[in-house]
Structure 1
Amino acid sequence: MKARAYLLMTLVVAVWGSTFVLVKSALADASPAAFNLARMTLAFAVLLAAYGRSLRKIQPWQVAAGAVVGLCLAAGYQFQTVGLLYTTPSRSAFITGLVVVLVPLFCIVPGLRPPGVHRPRWNAFLGAALAFLGIVLLTTPSEAGSLMPDWSAINRGDLITFGCSVGFALHCLALGHVSPRVDFRPLALLQIGFCAVFMAASLPFLGQPHLHLTPRLIGALLITAVLATAAAFAIQSWAQSILPPSHTALLITLEPVFAWITSFLVLGERLTRRPAAGAVLILIGIAVTELIPQPHPATAHEG
């Protein structure tokens, strides 16, 4: 059973990594907000068909909890997809991966800390420092004749994408509070449903929405909604009932690696020495944070 859980979670992470390239390509035919709304609406419809009966016994407080989780999830996806307009898929994936570093750091705040989770240890701060240095190398070129970063050349897409890692970190912490008390079926429905509602509410504020249905866009919507959202959420919820949270989190750190491989094979994207060193430092920072176990939940943060 454990071997199956590891295999399925690895496949889920590979799908998440590949979606960065898919979404980047799909944005040629759709605005980010419209794409996200269509994706989450379709994912909700699939989950409703699978788990709709589980909503019969839902309680009012669980609806409120689902709304909070859905709000954090919507924020993460909106920042991520808008950021992809201005940055590359692999850079977006590495920055999104910082969620694994941010979660233990946010646990400094008692109100954010899920029950049973301790204050962050020294390795969380070391991992955050390494990841920050990595993101500087990844996102900023060096000044002429110097190793110092040229802050004036920073990509606004990278800054926006950092907002997504904050949103997904808050989503992870919200799940840590809610998931022990709510069955994963209604919770998946509620968070995806409310995520779609909040995306619809934010639609007028995120530019002129448009969808131009093309085979490329339809394929991206089907893969991201059905495989990378509905099926992936169900598989992750099942796998986390079998695997230790730290093992799940370590598997999720492979997401930017799969994203870079996909981007290299499909788009021919290459990382020069400086950003490649930054990407490696981010992965080391994530590993330092997670290899010394800390009891916090992992979260889905696919493209």
Structure 2
Amino acid sequence: MRWLAELSLLFVALIWGVTFVIVQQAIAFLPPLLFNGLRFLLAALLLFAIILFRKETAKLTAKTWKHGLILGVCLTIGYAFQTIGLLYTTVSKTGFITGLSVVLVPLLSLILLKKRPALNAAVGSVTAAAGLYLLTAGGAGGWNIGDFFVLIGALGFAFHIIYTDVFTQHSSALTLTAVQVITVAALCFIGGFLLEDWHSALTAANLTNPSVLSTLLITAFLATALAFFIQTSAQKYTTPTRVVLILSMEPVFGALTAFFWIDERLTAAGLTGCAFIFIGMLLAEIPVQKWLNFRSAADKS
């Protein structure tokens, strides 16, 4: 069962990586917050319809709502700033900066949960930070406001990873996913109506635009409802470390999609930065110390 869960997570990473390109195209017509509000609202309607169909409303407990609201706030920060960042930076840079959430997790765990990061996690964080510098300031167009927004989004995703690992032990995957998704929809709509020009954005012409409509459907049902349900469910069959490691393929899929779809290319320094970030993500999750101890024991024998 574990191989099926991990294969499903790889599929999630592929979906998220591919959607960087189509989301960037869609937000040319709909502003970021309103786009995410519509995306998550459609996903929430599907999830709550499934809950009603399966007669699982009793599982929508007070604890599930509390945990789902916290996860929803983290996701709102992640998706809102990531989507806004796409207005100002490239798909490839967005994917790899978002991937830094993997190496931010051990640092936040130290602050929030008082868990000291392993040596490999610390080395991975430094390696990824060097890669971030090369990617953004060292030859991929320079550091810009879009990169900063995406980095804030990566912090939101890192908090989401930490709290998901804790909260999935107390609620069903379906109800917890539904609550966090409807929370993101509500918060994005509030922000969109307050900060964006919703009068000119929410028009029939924009909403029926093939690029916008197809992106909303793909991101709502595949990249949101299905993807977060898989992520929440898979932790029952595999470890959080393996979950994060598999999802670290997301920026790689994003960069490959940008290359083949819109011919987006990175400079040599940018490619080196991408490699550093990916290596850092791997180092942050591979149990190097256990491997070294195993090799040492094998040599002695």
TM-score between both structures, scaled by the size of structure 2: 0.88
How far is the alpha carbon of 1:236 from its aligned partner?
2.1
For each residue in 1:101-132, what CA deviation from the matched residue of structure 2 results, as whole angstroms up to 9, or x when unmatched?
Answer: 001110112xx32xxx8421222221111111
Distance change >3 Å, CA 177–CA 246, structure 1 → 2: closer
Change (3 A) 1:135 1:184: same
Deviates most, 94-103 or 202-211: 202-211
* 1:216 and 2:211 correspond: yes
- The answer for the alignment partner of 1:85 in structure 2 is 87
Aligned to 1:64: 66
Rounded Cα–Cα distance in structure 2 between residues aligned with 1:89 and 1:136:
17
Q: Cα offset for 1:240?
A: 2.0
Give distance in 1, aligned partners of 2:99 and 2:118: 19
Distance in 2 between residues matched to 1:290 and 1:16, nearest whole Å = 20
Q: 5+ residue gaps in structure 1? A: 143-148, 295-303
- Gaps in structure 2 of 5+ consecutive residues: 290-301
Residue aligning to 1:35: 35
1:124 aligned onto 2:126: no
CA deviations over 1:230-274 (Å, ceiling 9, x no partner): 111222223221122222211111111110111011110111100
CA distance in 2, matches of 1:133, 1:28: 32
The whole-number CA distance in structure 1 between the counterparts of 2:144 and 2:116 is 33
Match of 1:299 in 2: none
2:277 equivalent in structure 1:
282
Judge conservation of contact 2:21–2:258 (CA < 8 Å) in 1: yes
Q: Which residue of the partner structure matches residue 226 of structure 1?
A: 221
CA 55–119 in structure 1, closer or farther in 2 if over 3 Å, else same: farther
**Number of the residue aligned with 1:187:** 176
Shift of 1:137: 0.5
Structure 1 residue 61, shift from structure 2 partner: 3.3
Alpha-carbon distance in structure 2 between the residues aligned to 1:235 and 1:63: 19
Of the three residues 126, 133, 144, the one matched with 1:155 is 144
How far apart in 2 are the matches of 1:189 and 1:72?
15
Distance 1:293 1:162 in 2: 27
Q: Distance in 2 between matches of 1:267 and 1:179?
A: 38
SS in structure 1 of the partner of residue 163 of structure 2: helix
Instruction: Give the CA deviation at 1:94.
Output: 0.2
SS at match of 1:202: helix
**Greater CA deviation, 175-184 or 268-277?**
175-184
- Report the CA distance between 1:54 and its aligned residue: 2.4
Per the TM alignment, residue 154 of structure 1 is displaced from its structure 2 partner at its CA by 1.9
RMSD value, Cα? 1.9
Match of 1:201 among 168, 178, 190: 190
Deviation of 1:293 (Å)? 7.8
How many residues are matched? 281
Do the aligned residues in 2 keep the contact of 1:83 with 1:92 (CA within 8 Å)? yes
Alignment partner, residue 249 of structure 2 = 254
CA distance in 2, matches of 1:6, 1:38: 29
Match of 1:146 in 2: none
Query: Are the structure 2 counterparts of residues 203 and 293 from structure 1 closer, same or farther at C-alpha, using a change threshold of 3 Å?
Result: farther
User: Aligned residue for 1:24?
Assistant: 24
Give the Cα separation in 2 of the matches to 1:177 and 1:4: 22
Kindly indicate whether the alpha-carbon contact (under 8 Å) linking 1:26 and 1:216 is maintained by their aligned counterparts in 2: yes
CA 243–293 in structure 1, closer or farther in 2 if over 3 Å, else same: farther
Q: Which residue of 2 aligns with 1:173?
A: 162
More helix by share: 2
After superposing the two structures, state which structure 1 stretch, 206-215 or 30-39, moved more: 206-215
Cα distance in 1 for residues equivalent to 2:161 and 2:174: 17
Deviation at 1:179, TM superposition (A): 1.5
* AA in 2 matched with 1:277: T
Deviation of 1:205 after TM superposition, in Å, equals 4.1
TM-score normalized by the length of structure 1? 0.87
Q: Percent identity?
A: 38
8 A Cα contact 2:110 2:117, kept in partner? yes
Q: Does the 8 Å CA contact 1:89/1:259 hold for their aligned counterparts?
A: yes
Task: Name the aligned partner's letter for residue 123 of structure 1.
Answer: N
Whole-angstrom CA distance in 2 between matches of 1:6 and 1:178: 20
Residue 4 of structure 1 corresponds to 4
1: CA distance, partners of 2:56 / 2:116: 35
